[in-house]
Structure formats: structure tokens, C-alpha cells
Structure 1
Amino acid sequence: MVQLRKWRPLLKLDGAQPQASYRKIIEGLVSAIVEGRLRPGTLLPGTREMAQLLNVNRKTVILAYEEAVTKGWLISIQRRGTFVSTQLATGTVTAPSAKLFVPALRETPAVAYFTQGEQVTALQHRRDALFFDNGACDHRLLPQAVLHRYYRNALRNSFTTNTVRHGSEGSGHYLRNALAEMLRHNRGLNVDAQQICLTQGVQMSLYLTASVLLKPGDVVVVERLSYPPAWEIFRQLGAQLVTVDLDDEGCRVDQLDELCRLHNVRMMYVTPHHQFPTTVSLRAGRRQQLLELARLHDFCIIEEDYDHEYHFAGRPYLPLASDSAQRHVIYIGSLSKSLGSTFRCSYIVAPSNVIEVLERTAAVSLGQGDAVMQRMLADLINDGELKKHLRRVSREYRRRRETLLSCLLDAFGEQISVQEPEGGLALWVKFADSIDVNQLAEKALELDLVVRNGRLFSPFGHPENALRLGFASLNPEEIRTATQRLAQAAQVVGEQLGRTLDERRSCEG
């Protein structure tokens, strides 16, 4: 650590002015971090000690630290101290050992959505910690006895028929037939087994599809708020992202025509059924307009339908891919929201010639799936057990949605704005300007509650004073406790804001 007596020159505060304002301290900290004189992870002196070293009032240092934390330059960890954020790059590089050859690697910048600090990692091992996730299902509600029986039967059948070996083509074809039947009856897709490619997760489906369709420099349209793994995949493949806005009826399709005239759009990624993260459903008129624009400008639509099964208001919208006249939609679905993330089964629906290309690519880079698991999933679909399970848990998830809505309104009242979604497993909650969600998320961590702020869903990191709160994985009592912690964190943030404003007036006065 930098010697304490060097803090004043380190922050370039040795000028004629005997005392440093909180703004000067912030400028000195930022300059030292950017220039590499303060490395990521460096522990700063406590506010009392720093005040003595800089010959300033302690409140001035507190104010400077708090603003630097808010801006992301520093991170404060309860009972440990204040550190330079470990997610910042510095201007210095450690020289490599002369004896070690390290090949040049293509650096991929960290995306905040995928990174989690020490506090979040530690909380994953705490039984009393609570997580408002993105909308995962509750594994505790799975029909364990049924799953055990079906897996045993699938395993026995695989041994008997000698198809237990990894990547059996027979089990894959059996599951594709079951999925095709389900999609025809439940989602209106006119498909057969030859139009389905199996993968082990939605992100794998997205990567496989995008890697086949995109080349560096291609333009991909995403919504202003969108699923981070999707747009990060497109970026890593060299695509250029452009965005369209969102409103209460979903994607602003009216902006798309102008974008297509400005750019040679290759692809658009959408989640029209329950938009991720805002949960709004794309209205019928806009769906038809989107399909017409895809035909007119000849771009491909990647439609991800991640939680089609959970629709609570009337009948669910049929997918864009169900339109008999369309020729531009590739459809991606998953069983993970039905049976949990343990059951890694996603699928891509596309014309058979596209599926052939996808499967050749998958065979080289992704390998084959679990033959026993594929057989079990197919049997669950064919025997109606999956449909029975979904009907049962949908009633429970609807109850949990109502519980969270009620708790939020009781705790926050007019400080929040939330549109009750037609379906899905999460709420999109907008907060009044008096509550900063970045600070709210940090304070919630100190209360053993994990939430993700709205900025994480913006492809360009634009601020969004909102939270996506998944309710399905929490039972009603856990929802009430989590909401209480969130309200407590908001109260602390509000009190700190009031003190900060008072101190700022005092310092500047």
C-alpha cells in the first residue's frame, strides 16, 4: 500500500491552497486511478485518518468518498474499508517474466452483468441471503418423485436399447419430435423434427445462431434495454449494435424503418412475448409491422421466447414465428423456465436448410447432448407430465406475483411505478428520482439482499432508475422479507442523500 505520508502529493493536493475541497479530493483520486498511481484493489485510509493527512474536515472526506463510490471509482465494503474498484483498468502493466512466454490474447472487456463482487459471491453460501433474480423458477416446486421415476425409466430404456452412449442420435430425434408436437399444439408453429436444432441452453442457441448469420461489421438491432448475454454475444462476433426505444406497448417498431434506411441491418433480436427486462408484451399491430419490415428490408429476426408458458392475463400471444406468411424469423425456446436451469435444454426452430448448417456447426464446436436426459424430457412432454406441472406451478407463481406487487406498493407507495405484466416471472419496477437504484443495490447487499439495477440491461450502459425483480424463485414469506430489506435499504439511501445535500451546502457555503 502507498505510504500514508504520500497521500497528499499522490492526489496532487500540494498546491498553494492549504485545504482541499471535496471536489479537489475527488479529482485527485480519479486522476491517480486513471494514471495508474492508485491500483485496483488499493485500500484507502479511513475517513478520519485521511482527513488528518489532508488537513481537512472529516465530513469533506466522507463526502468525497461517497461521491467516488457512487461514480464507480471506489467501492465500500462494510467492516473492511474503502477500496479502489477492482473493475477499473489502470495505465500501468506489470512486466512479464523473461522466462515465461505468454501468447497475445484478444481481450474481452468485462460486462458488469456477468461480474459479481466478493459480497455477492459470499452471499451465495449464506442460507439467510435472498436474491431477486431475473425470473428463475423455484426448484423446490419440481415434482421430484415424477422426475426420479422418468429418469430411471429413461436410463433403463437407454441401457436396454444400447443408446446410453453420449450423444445418441435416436434420443435427439425422439426429443425433437416431442418438441415439434408441443410447438404445433401450444404455440401455433408449423414445424417438424427436421426444423429443430437442440442445444444446452439459450445462450448457446444465441451464440450458435449468431455465429452462423453474422460476420464482423454487420449491424444488429436490439432494444434499448435487452438481455445482456445476447448483445454481448453479438459484440464478440464483431457486430455493430444499434437500438430502438421501448414504451408501454413494447418495442418502438416505428423507429425501425428509419434505422434500416440508415444502416444495412442484418439481424434484429427481440423478446416480444414478455420483453426482457421490462416484461411488456408486444402488441399485435406492431408484430405485423415488424414482420413486414423484415420482409421489406430483408433482415433476420431472432425471436427468443424464454417464458412462453407463464402468461396470466388471457391467452398468450402466438410467436412471430407462427405467422404462416413469414420467412425471416428464427425462433429460440427453452425448457429451463419450466424445469429449472439444471435441465439444460434449449432449441432453435428454423427452415431445414438453416438447421443443417446449425447442426454442422454445433457438431464441431458444441458436441452432443445427454442421451438419457433427452429421452426423459421427451417422455415428460409426450405423457403430459410437463403440461400438468406447468398448470400447477402457474397458479403458485401468479400468487407470488400478487404478493410482491402488494408488498412493493405497501413499502414504497408513490415512490415506485410498476405495470402489472400479462405474464412472466419478474416485475419491472421504476423508482422515483429520490431513490438512486445504484446506491439502493449497494445498500441492499449489506442487508443480505441481491438485486440488479436497470443500468445492467442497457447495451450502452445508460442509466435506468429501475430494478427487475424476479418473484418465482421466492416463496411468499421470502418475498415479504426481501421487500422489507429493500425498503430498509431505500430508507438508508434517502437518509444518506439528505446528509450529503446538507454537507455539500455546508462545504460550498
Structure 2
Amino acid sequence: MNSPVDIPYKSLIQLNSNSSMPIYRQIADRIIDCILRGHLMAGINLPGTRVLSKILGVNRNTIVAAYEELERQEWVKKKPNKGTVILHGTHPVASKTHRGENLQPASYPTFTGFSFTQTNILDDPFEFSDCEYVFNDGIPDIRLIQISDLSHRYSANLKRKSNRKKLTGYNQEGSEYFKANLCNYLNLSRGLHISGKNLLITRSTEMSVYITSRILLTEGDLVLVGELGYFSVNMILQKNGAHIKTVPIDQQGIDVDAIEIICKTQKVRMVYITPHHHYPTTVTLSPQRRIQLLELAVKYGFVILEDDYDYDFHYTKSPVLPLCSADSSGMVVYIGSFGKSLAPGFRTGFIVAPDNIMAEMRKYLGIIDRQGDILMEQVLGEMIEDGEIHRYMRKSLKVYQERRDYFAELLNEHLADEIEFDLPSGGLAFWLRWKQKVNLSQLAKRCHKNNLFIPKTLMYQNSKIAAMRVGFGNLTRAEMENAVAILKKSAG
């Protein structure tokens, strides 16, 4: 291995001029020690004799003699055009000790020498499998992404002289160019009335939730969420000290009457909702409940944290506008993602909120993400300004709508006796409800044996319900057919 790393040979090879052992032998022994301890690994090229002699301050012939000694003991080998290469991490015939020393391979500590608080709240719930077919919770198909166009745009911006100054410093405020274009995009597509001072650019929806909860919540604050909800957000809220209480969900979304009942006896700090398509059931919060929820927020003084995670994926000509568009009292903090249909590295999150709280959020973002990603924001801003994001969304939405309809056909054809569902008006997932009692964990195991992976995060089961959130956006027609066939076979 030709390592580009500058190895600190001066520190590793300590020489004793008063020792009776010749210098070349000291050098050879120190290199052997470094190999045995793991400081120098097999495949690494040792420095040339002239280079090492200069580093150690000895005659080059001394280094030549040391390398000859190492080669005689079969620790290294001289290779044409490559130099002197270490052959072994441990010598095949050498004793476990060298010169009587008890050598231990170098390693990093397994445990800290100090105590710290451990929690299972943020344990990673995600699972992975090498099955050929995989259900997810509704993510886009990266095979539809125009990688070449995105790469060209990024490369062009990287080479542009006008961008070089932007790349040499920190900018926690983000690209003003991108913010201006994103404001226009949100105002036109979602009925908002914002400017750049109301917008904060983040890395993801989860980061947006984290920043918002860190600023708005204190230990023990009561946060209301849907009885069936998004586990990642619940984890973040709990980690930031919130006490979570669940509220029933029905075909009109979160039960606002139930929220009011709680507000009459307890101080509610925040209500987290996904009103456009409730996660995981995909239902849309009704217009009447939206108005009622905004009125309750003003009356009882709680924050509405509105997560519009998949607004761009809708199949009707008149999508329901977010609550934020009707908020005249400053009770809604609106979060979402932009570029979700693009490659993961080209996506970004955002927060929309009134001016005063946005000032505090910028302070916090300046600590956890001071450098930002100006170049990527420049690319996304251009995609908005020249209309490319609109053209791309139209093309991808057509594909996703066709996939939604075909997936519904397959489910009705093969699983009508086992499940029921409502055709989602948007998003990239179905909410499948099992008619008969079924052990979803056992079903998932049977599917796994047949090459279909269903992560545990998609399954919702208690005494009242057995249901799954199943994404279709990442599956082609053939993949859908095979996945549904496996599900049918495993459920039988």
C-alpha cells in the first residue's frame, strides 16, 4: 500500500547514541517494534534511504544497512519501482516477544475512562437487508433522477469564479440567492407570504425538528402527537425533554376535539402534525379541523409544528394548502424538505417561522452547522429560477401516479380478501390495514425468507389495529408484481 500519510518516523524511531548496539540495528529493531504494535502496517512503503536518513539525522549507509537487516529477517522486501515494502503485520516465524519485550498491538480504547449518561431513546431503529425486494415508508426512486444534469450543474458552479469567494468562508445564513428563489417557490406553490428573514435552511426535516424543539421546548413540556406517528420525530422530541401524549387519528386526520379536551386540563406546549398526508396513515387533515386547530392554538397558546414532508407529491390539481398559509397569529412553525425527488445529496430542509424566533434559530444553526453548503444551495436556486425543478417534478409525478394506480390494482387483485386501503391522494406510500388478525412480525419473517424485506418501522400493531405503511415510489411495475406476489404467498 502506497500511503499518502506523513508517518512520524522521527517520533517512532528513537535512537540512543550511548547504546552498545549499532545504530542500524536500533533502527531495524524500532521498525520491527512498530510493525508488531500496529503502527506500521503490511503493504506500507518505507521511506527511501535518503529520505529516512535525513529524517533521523544519520548517514544514508546506516539506513541501507538497517533495510538489509529487515529484509534478511523477511520483514520487508525491496520491489522494483516501488521501494521497500513491509510484508507482514506479524512475522510468520518470529516470537510473540521481541528482544524479551512483551509487545501489545496498538489499538484504540474500547471503553472511556469516565462516566457519561447513556440513553436508548436514540437507538437506531432502521434495519437493512440484502433481499432483492424491499418495502420502505415512501421514498423516491433514485433511478429516475437525472444524475448527469445535477452533476453538470454542480461542476459548473464549482468552476465559476464568482463562487470562489463564497467557498472560502463560513456562511451560516445560507445562500441569499437560494433563499430568495425558495421563498418564491414556497409562496407560489403553498400559498405562503414569506421573505428570506422567515426562512432557515437546514440539512433535513429531522434537523429542522431538532433545532425547533431545542429552542421551544424545556424539560417536561407536553407535546401532543398522533397516536400513530413518525418515530424519528418522537425520538427527537423525547430526547429534548418533552413529555409526549398521543391523540387519536381518524379519516379526517388528528382528532382536534381530543386536543381541546387535553388543553382544558393540561398545559400543552406544542402539537406536532403532518396534516397534508398524516404519517403513517396518509390521511389529510380536514379543512374544518385545520381552522379549529389554529383557533385552539391562539386560545391555549401552544405551538403548531407543521411537518409538510411530502407536499410536492400530490396527484390532484388542487392540493390542500398548509396551515402555515392561513396562520395570521404566528402560532405555526412550518418545516419541510426541498428536492426530495432529487438525489439525497441534493436535498435540503427548511424552517419557516416569524422573524423573532427565526433570529434565535439562526444562532443555534450557527453553532451546529456554521459552514452551510453554499454551493449546493446555488445549484438548487438555479433549478428553481430556470424552471428545471418544475419540469422534473411534472415528469416524476406522472411516473409516480402511474405506479400508485398500478400498485392499487395489484393489491385489489391479489390481496383484496386480506387487506383494505384508501387510494392515497399524494405521497409515495399506502396505508394497508389487515382485515383479519395477523402477526405482522411473523409475516415479515416469512416474506424475508421469500426475498422481500419489510422493516419493523413500517409495521403498526396493537390490540386495535394491524397495519403497514408500504412505499411504492421506488418500485417498477415488475418489482411491484413480484413483491405483491411474495406478500400474498407469505400471508396465505
- TM-score bracket, normalised by the shorter chain, equals 0.7 to 0.9
1:100/1:225 Cα in 2 relative to 1: closer, same or farther (>3 Å)? closer
8 A contact 2:272–2:305 mirrored in 1 = yes
User: Could you tell me which residue of structure 2 aligns to residue 114 of structure 1?
Assistant: 125
- Secondary structure at the aligned position of 2:416 is classed as helix
- Secondary structure at the aligned position of 1:396 is classed as helix
User: Could you tell me which residue of structure 1 aligns to residue 296 of structure 2?
Assistant: 293
User: Could you tell me which residue of structure 2 aligns to residue 248 of structure 1?
Assistant: 251
8 A contact 1:113–1:228 mirrored in 2 = no
8 A contact 1:277–1:457 mirrored in 2 = no
TM-fit CA distance, 1:463:
6.9
8 A contact 1:135–1:471 mirrored in 2 = yes
TM-fit CA distance, 1:111:
6.5
Q: Which amino acid aligns with 2:289?
A: R
8 A contact 2:172–2:366 mirrored in 1 = no
User: Could you tell me which residue of structure 1 aligns to residue 65 of structure 2?
Assistant: none
User: Could you tell me which residue of structure 1 aligns to residue 484 of structure 2?
Assistant: 483
Q: Where do residues 5-20 of structure 1 align in structure 2 (5 Å cutoff)?
A: none
Distance 1:113 1:433 in 2: 31
Distance 2:452 2:233 in 1: 26
Distance 2:433 2:248 in 1: 16
User: Could you tell me which residue of structure 2 aligns to residue 232 of structure 1?
Assistant: 235
- Secondary structure at the aligned position of 2:305 is classed as strand
Q: Where do residues 64-213 of structure 1 align in structure 2 (5 Å cutoff)?
A: 102-109=113-120, 114-116=125-127, 120-121=128-129, 123=130, 129-157=132-160, 161-165=164-168, 167-168=170-171, 172-213=175-216
Q: Which amino acid aligns with 1:382?
A: E
8 A contact 2:434–2:467 mirrored in 1 = yes
User: Could you tell me which residue of structure 2 aligns to residue 49 of structure 1?
Assistant: none
User: Could you tell me which residue of structure 2 aligns to residue 474 of structure 1?
Assistant: 475
Using the TM superposition, name which of 134-143 and 390-399 deviates more. Answer: 134-143
Using the TM superposition, name which of 299-308 and 172-181 deviates more. Answer: 172-181
Distance 2:460 2:114 in 1: 33
8 A contact 2:276–2:285 mirrored in 1 = yes
TM-fit CA distance, 1:489:
1.5
Distance 2:383 2:458 in 1: 39
Percent of paired sites with the same residue: 31
- Secondary structure at the aligned position of 1:102 is classed as coil
8 A contact 1:444–1:450 mirrored in 2 = yes
User: Could you tell me which residue of structure 1 aligns to residue 75 of structure 2?
Assistant: none
Larger-Rg structure: 2
Distance 1:225 1:487 in 2: 25
> Equivalent of 2:359, from 332, 351, 356?
356
TM-fit CA distance, 1:151:
1.3
Segments of 5+ residues of structure 2 without an aligned counterpart are: 1-109
- Secondary structure at the aligned position of 2:241 is classed as coil
User: Could you tell me which residue of structure 2 aligns to residue 366 of structure 1?
Assistant: 369
User: Could you tell me which residue of structure 1 aligns to residue 53 of structure 2?
Assistant: none
TM-fit CA distance, 1:283:
0.8
User: Are 1:387 and 2:390 matched, yes or no?
Assistant: yes
8 A contact 2:121–2:235 mirrored in 1 = no
Q: Which has the higher helix share?
A: 1
Segments of 5+ residues of structure 1 without an aligned counterpart are: 1-98, 492-509
User: Could you tell me which residue of structure 2 aligns to residue 438 of structure 1?
Assistant: 441
How many residues get paired?
384
TM-fit CA distance, 1:154:
1.7
| RMSD (Å), alpha carbons | 2.3
Q: Which amino acid aligns with 1:139?
A: I
Q: TM-score, normalised by structure 1?
A: 0.71
Q: TM-score, normalised by structure 2?
A: 0.74
8 A contact 1:277–1:468 mirrored in 2 = yes
Q: Which amino acid aligns with 2:203?
A: Q
- Secondary structure at the aligned position of 1:338 is classed as coil
TM-fit CA distance, 1:159:
5.7
